[in-house]
Amino acid sequence: MKNIREDFPILKKMHNSHRLVYFDNAATTQKPKQVIDAIVDLLENHNGNPHRGAHILSVEASRLYDEAREAVRKLINAKYGEEIIFVRNATEGLNLIARSYAETRLKKGDKIVIPISEHHANLVTWQRVCRVTGAELVYMYLDGEGRFTDEDLAKIDEKTKIVSFAAVSNVLGMKRPVKELVERAHRAGAIAVVDAAQAVPHMKVDVQDWDCDFLVFSGHKMLASAGTGVLYGKRGLLNDMEPFLLGGDMIEYVREQTTTFNVLPFKFEAGTENVEGAVALHAAIDYLEKIGWDNIEAHEEGLTKRCLDGMKKLPYIHIIGSTDPEEKTGVISFTIDGVHPHDAATILDSYGIAIRSGHHCAQPYGAHIHAEASNRVSFYVYNTPEEVDYFLEKLPLVRKQMGFKD
**Contact pattern from residue 116 through residue 145 relative to ligand PMP, giving x for each residue in contact according to CB under 6 A and a dash for the rest:** ---x-xx-----------------------
**Segment near ligand PMP (CB under 6 A), from 141-149, 155-163, 192-200, 367-375?**
192-200
Whether 348 and 398 have beta carbons less than 8 Å apart is answered as yes
Give the angle subtended at the CA of 236 by the CAs of 232 and 239, to the nearest 5°. 85
Minimum CB–partner distance for residue 176 and ligand PMP (Å): 11
Minimum CB–partner distance for residue 278 and ligand PMP (Å): 15
**Segment near ligand PMP (CB under 6 A), from 38-46, 194-202, 261-269, 377-385?**
194-202
Q: How far apart are alpha carbons 401 and 49 in whole angstroms? A: 55
Residue 230 binds ligand PMP (CB under 6 A): no
How would you class 398 by CB atoms within 10 Å of its CB: exposed for 0-12, middle for 13-18, buried for 19 or more?
buried
**Contact pattern from residue 24 through residue 63 relative to ligand PMP, giving x for each residue in contact according to CB under 6 A and a dash for the rest:** --x-------------------------------------
Mark 312-350 as b/e (b = at least 16 C-beta within 10 Å). eebeebebbbbbebebbbbbbbbbbeebebebbbebbbe
361 is catalytic: yes
Q: How far apart are alpha carbons 145 and 176 in whole angstroms? A: 13
Bridge partners (DSSP) of residue 261 are 251
Number of residues that bind ligand PMP (CB under 6 A): 14
Residue 197 binds ligand PMP (CB under 6 A): yes
Minimum CB–partner distance for residue 260 and ligand PMP (Å): 31
Cβ partners under 8 Å of residue 162, min gap 6 = 102, 106, 112, 113, 126, 185, 190, 191, 193
Cβ partners under 8 Å of residue 303, min gap 6 = 330, 379, 383, 384, 385, 388
Task: Give 2's DSSP letter.
Answer: G
Minimum CB–partner distance for residue 337 and ligand PMP (Å): 26
**Segment near ligand PMP (CB under 6 A), from 64-72, 175-183, 191-199, 377-385?**
191-199
Q: Tell me which of 130, 212, 307, 361 is the catalytic residue.
A: 361
Could you tell me where the DSSP H helices lie in 292-384?
293-312, 341-349, 363-368
Minimum CB–partner distance for residue 197 and ligand PMP (Å): 4
Cβ partners under 8 Å of residue 271, min gap 6 = 245, 247, 248, 249
Residue 374 binds ligand PMP (CB under 6 A): no
In the complex with ligand PMP, the residue whose CB is nearer, 71 or 196, is 196
**Segment near ligand PMP (CB under 6 A), from 88-96, 204-212, 242-250, 309-317?**
88-96
Whether 20 and 391 have beta carbons less than 8 Å apart is answered as no
**E strand or H helix that includes residue 73:** helix 56-76
Residue 91 binds ligand PMP (CB under 6 A): yes
Question: Strand 21-22 relative to strand 353-354: parallel, antiparallel, unpaired?
Answer: parallel
Q: How far apart are alpha carbons 175 and 198 in whole angstroms? A: 9
Near ligand PMP by CB under 6 A: residue from 164, 198, 329, 335: 198
**Contact pattern from residue 307 through residue 346 relative to ligand PMP, giving x for each residue in contact according to CB under 6 A and a dash for the rest:** ----------------------------------------
Minimum CB–partner distance for residue 218 and ligand PMP (Å): 3
Near ligand PMP by CB under 6 A: residue from 30, 117, 164, 170: 170
Minimum CB–partner distance for residue 297 and ligand PMP (Å): 18
**Segment near ligand PMP (CB under 6 A), from 53-61, 89-97, 253-261, 371-379?**
89-97
CB count within 10 Å of CB 304 equals 25
Please identify every residue annotated as catalytic. 361
What residue ranges bind ligand PMP (CB under 6 A)? 26, 89-91, 119, 121-122, 166, 170, 195, 197-198, 218, 361
